[in-house]
Structure 1
């Protein structure tokens, strides 16, 4: 049975035949069909039955596709339907919607008395040449940013496409900035709310590009995609340690989950602490991800080792997304930075105030010092002080600057 199924699938026209076909016609409508989570079938039933399910899925595609359209199998769980008919966007959408609905209604026999269902995602592109295959792949990627079991027509002007183009641009700019030393730390003061003096600084990355200072929101996503994020962190560590070598300030550096998983921090931080005569107790490592990212034994061991040398730990943006109170109490960081959206709205949104009050109470009882970010006015600062929050940071005091 296994060989029969595989022979049936392998006899179909493949990706190379598809490319040849697309290059040979003047115009084509391409429906790229991807089976959602197909690996689950192999895991649940085994590869032999996975092949059988693929054969049945192929039959369903043949039944649901336009009668005159050609079918190609691109990879194990990906098919292409190509039609040469003249179709407007409404017709393309109708065909794709019909195919998705057809799959939603059909059961696939796995074995005697065992049935399953498959859902599909469809990326659609029209035009001439094999580039429409790449465009359809992009359409599926964009679709899966939001959902599965649906369809998406390629739109060169979509926000998703613009974001991909911007990432490509910043990939080049990041590498250039590192090579030409244009990746720089900027420093924002953190105020002790009892003494009213600057006690520490947060080191924030910027790119100096053609006379413009670029904030990380523009390029960090591209840095993650290209694996250069740890290079950004290393550069900021090196430059920040130089900056604070002749001062007495405490300073914090943002650390990502990627930095922790690469497991280079201890050696690198100690090297630059010795080189610049900085006591590790002056260095705060701000963990950017939610606290659940600290749950693995390897990460916990690494952070505990860093703390044994004197480095301090801060949890950033607490209160957002999946912040975990139980994990916080297990880990007990030195500092907790309340998510800036709560501080920013603390005077106008009662929910934000309640959340901040709860976090303050928890931290007071756990001996965790609190830093309020996004303090942008005297009124917000007065409320922060009233709540007993130890430190404040924000544009009310200073924007990030190149010098202290």
Structure 2
């Protein structure tokens, strides 16, 4: 009915009223509909009221019956009449028929007569119940008529006919609206899909950001615009020692160490206000009070032109600082004595020379070598020798001024550099001599080494410098020559570089000239030292240069290689070695016994760092048409210290050609361990200085084990040089080293003798294999 009223109202006053108002038929039908709706509304209200009363009376009737029957004697006629009345009323309520109502009234009258002699209270109860029964009977008669009035809908037919024309007129308009709504719906659907995709993307970004925040290794804190901490990540709590609950709501000032003053923080916040961010290194304090360095970055978050939050992120630099100190110490200090090493000494010498030029004051270098130190190592062991070196270092440091330098070059060689001496040469020499004599006296005092008293003396060579037309290399040579003069003078003495030493330098110049002629006259020859595996099978050789002098005979490389390095002759000599070695490889490739041999060629630092070195190697390989993998270039540890990036780049270029690399004399350098994993090496070569005392020296054994383990961890082969005894080889093999080189297998030999050795060694291995 409410729907019909709404329809009528819409037709009379809605958007269609203007079109329908001119239709008289429709207007009459609409008036009839209004009248009918009003009549039905009144009938509905009456139906609802009577139906509610009827429902309650029917519910009440059984209870009233039971109450009345309790007061009647059972089995009486009145009792039976009353039961019949109640049953008739209840059955009448379940039927929609109009008959039976007069019978109910007659039964009520009959019961009233039967109860005339009963108590007043019982009659009153029945009268009350009779009124309910009469009302139920009345409402049951009226209900069908009310339902008929409510369901009558004949007026709708005329209204429908009147509305048909209006519907036809509006159908076309509705079709147009439907098309428009369809298009709008499709647009809204597309927009909703796009919005959903953006929302999902934003959700994923938020989830990713939350994951990054929780799992970041950097410590992150978020504060409001006033500096109150809103959140921190797990890394923050791990580094600072504060739990999240302890810092929420507090200011990051709780971490301040006091090392930065108020002015520092004022400048920091001024930068943040101006640029929106700041970063730098500061020191903060953990919860346990430990001060630590960190790299801090602060960024201001701007919303609507105002700072809403600050995001601080920092990295704990403790490990990095410790690593930097360790690397610095490895690079510039001797690990045994803690003294500056050759590199740091060279740097300080350069500064001293520059200072001497500016001030005019002189300086001095004193080279100190312990007399008979090797005897101590051989008789008492390297551990006692190390104790002596440590005590010597401490005594030397006590003999000089604060601004002077005491350094250890290696072994038992020490250097003292004195600065700010007199401008007068004689006075400066006297000052140097005074320090030298003090060193002689101090180092000659008894040493207590592992509960044993021991005496030792030094030999000292000194030279003065003024910084004019002097190089560090020349100064070192002069002091070194003077030191050897002190040894020749009987040791335990001090000698200055003098004219006699200059004569020695003159001889050096003559030697350089002879070396140049040796190159021109082809006086050099390659010798080959065999390399074998654990079964004594030849696997390769090392090419070693020899100078066959027409008058002196064979000259050791130890005598001329250093001179060649200093003069630059090492470049043409190195090229000759490379050419000769590759030519020999070509010959070997044609013979089954030598086809698989790998030839190792030593390369100097100066040669390796030449810009055209890669091209030079490539040309030689192509010229001789050799297999590049049969050529192995041996580099020394010391050459890796300078220009490490250029060295790695050159090695990588050569590796692309197929050339192999071996790191020679491994373990004797200064500080290349940090770069080892970056070098494209194939092999580590254990220096013979560690192999020599391998059987008797536990320190050497420990070093060798470490080198072998390191090589294996980097997937490198390892070869030991200087193997002279079966005991040494056995120890090396037991520790995982299976490639060897040394006099035990063969000394360096000319090519013909070397090839004979290869054939004999191979034949011996085959014979042993057949016997097995």
Give the TM-score taking structure 1 as reference length. Answer: 0.65
The Cα shift of 1:97 comes to 5.1
Q: 1:122 matched to which residue of 2?
A: 464
Alignment partners' CA distance in 1, 2:750 and 2:620: 20
Correspondence for 1:243: 584
Cα distance in 2 for residues equivalent to 1:140 and 1:387:
40
Q: Which of 346, 352, 361 does residue 37 from structure 1 map onto? A: 352
Q: 3-state SS of the aligned residue for 2:352?
A: coil
CA deviations over 1:50-104 (Å, ceiling 9, x no partner): 5xx55xx69xxxxxxxxxxxxxxxxxx9998589xxxxxxx9964765899xxxx
1:329 is matched with 677
Three-state SS of the structure 1 residue aligned to 2:718 is strand
Q: What is the aligned partner in structure 1 of residue 560 from structure 2?
A: 219
Q: Secondary structure at the match of 1:176?
A: helix
Match for residue 200 of structure 1 among 540, 550, 556: 540
For residue 615 of structure 2, the aligned residue among 264, 267, 281 is 267
State the match for 2:601 in structure 1: 253
Q: Residue deviations 1:133-154, cap 9 Å, x none?
A: 99xxx8896248899xxx9644
Distance 1:369 1:237 in 2: 23
**1 CA distance for matches of 2:620 and 2:556?**
25
* Partner of residue 358, structure 1: 706
Indicate how the Cα distance of structure 1 residues 305 and 166 shifts in structure 2: closer, same or farther if over 3 A, else same.
Answer: same
Aligned to 1:17: none
Structure 2 partner of 1:187: 528
Mark the CA change 1:326 to 1:36 in structure 2 (over 3 Å): closer, same or farther: closer
Closer, same or farther: CA 213–41 of 1 in aligned 2, 3 Å:
closer
**Cα distance between partner residues in 2 of 1:308 and 1:251:** 18
Task: Return closer, same or farther for 1:299/1:198 CA change in 2, 3 Å cut-off.
Answer: same
Specify which structure has the higher proportion of helix.
2
The root-mean-square deviation of aligned C-alpha atoms, in Å, is: 3.8
Deviates more, 1:382-391 or 1:346-355: 382-391
The runs of 5 or more residues in structure 1 that have no matched partner are 1-33, 43-49, 59-76, 84-90, 101-119, 125-132
| Greater mean alpha carbon deviation, residues 255-264 or residues 319-328 | 319-328
Q: CA deviation at 1:40?
A: 4.6
Q: Distance in 1 between matches of 2:717 and 2:350?
A: 50
5+ long unaligned stretches in structure 2 = 1-348, 363-419, 437-461, 484-493, 589-594, 755-772
CA gap of 1:245–1:152, structure 2 versus 1, over 3 A, is: same
Once residues 711 and 497 of structure 2 are traced to their aligned partners in structure 1, the CA distance between those partners, rounded to angstroms, is 49
The 2-side partners of 1:97 and 1:177 are apart by 42
1:181 and 1:79, CA in 2 relative to 1: closer, same or farther beyond 3 A?
farther
**Cα shift readout 1:350-376 (whole Å, capped 9, x = no counterpart):** 100000001111111111100100001
Query: Contact 1:313–1:333 (CA<8 Å) still a contact in 2?
Result: yes
Say whether residues 1:178 and 2:519 are aligned partners: yes
Deviation at 1:302, TM superposition (A): 1.1
Name the residue aligned to 1:127: none
Q: Cα–Cα, structure 1 residues 121 and 187, in superposed 2: closer, same or farther, change >3 Å?
A: closer
Match in the other structure for 1:9: none
- Report the Cα offset of residue 181 of structure 1: 0.8
Q: State the Cα distance separating 1:209 from its structure 2 match.
A: 0.7
Measured after TM superposition, the shift of residue 38 of structure 1 is 4.8
Instruction: Check whether the contact 2:636–2:663 (CA below 8 A) recurs between aligned residues.
Output: yes
Cα distance between partner residues in 2 of 1:35 and 1:314: 33
CA–CA separation in structure 2 for the residues paired with 1:386 and 1:397? 18
Aligned to 2:624: 276
| CA spacing shift, 1:243–1:331, aligned 2, 3 Å | same
CA positional deviation for 1:292? 3.5
Q: Tell me, what secondary structure is at the counterpart of 2:689?
A: helix
**In 1, distance between residues paired with 2:694 and 2:525?**
32
Tell me how far 1:343 sits from its aligned partner.
0.9
Instruction: Work out the CA distance in 1 between the residues paired with 2:356 and 2:475.
Output: 24
Determine whether 1:306 maps to 2:654: yes
Q: How many residues align?
A: 299
> Which protein shows a greater Rg?
2
* Equivalent pair of 2:532/2:741 in contact (CA under 8 Å): yes
Which of 622, 635, 641 is the matching residue for 1:287? 635
SS of 1:172's equivalent?
Answer: helix
Q: Distance in 2 between matches of 1:146 and 1:80?
A: 22
Aligned mate of 2:571, from 212, 215, 230:
230
Q: 1:142 — aligned with what?
A: 478
Q: Distance in 2 between matches of 1:201 and 1:179?
A: 27
Contact conserved, 1:335 with 1:369, CA < 8 A, in 2? yes
Cα gap change, 1:39 to 1:80, in 2 (>3 Å) = closer
Q: TM-score, normalised by structure 2?
A: 0.35
Q: Specify the alignment match of 1:376 in structure 2.
A: 724
Q: Distance in 1 between matches of 2:632 and 2:657?
A: 12
Equivalent residue for 1:341, pick from 685, 689, 700: 689
SS at match of 1:263: coil
TM-fit CA distance, 1:251: 0.4
Aligned residues of 1:287 and 1:316 also touching (Cα < 8 A): yes
Structure-2 separation of matches of 1:282 and 1:353: 31
Structure with greater strand percent: 1
Contact 2:636–2:666 (8 Å) recurs in 1: no
Question: How far apart, in 2, do the equivalents of 1:291 and 1:181 lie?
Answer: 28
* Equivalent pair of 1:190/1:199 in contact (CA under 8 Å): yes
Q: Is 1:288–1:317's contact at 8 Å kept on the other side of the alignment?
A: yes
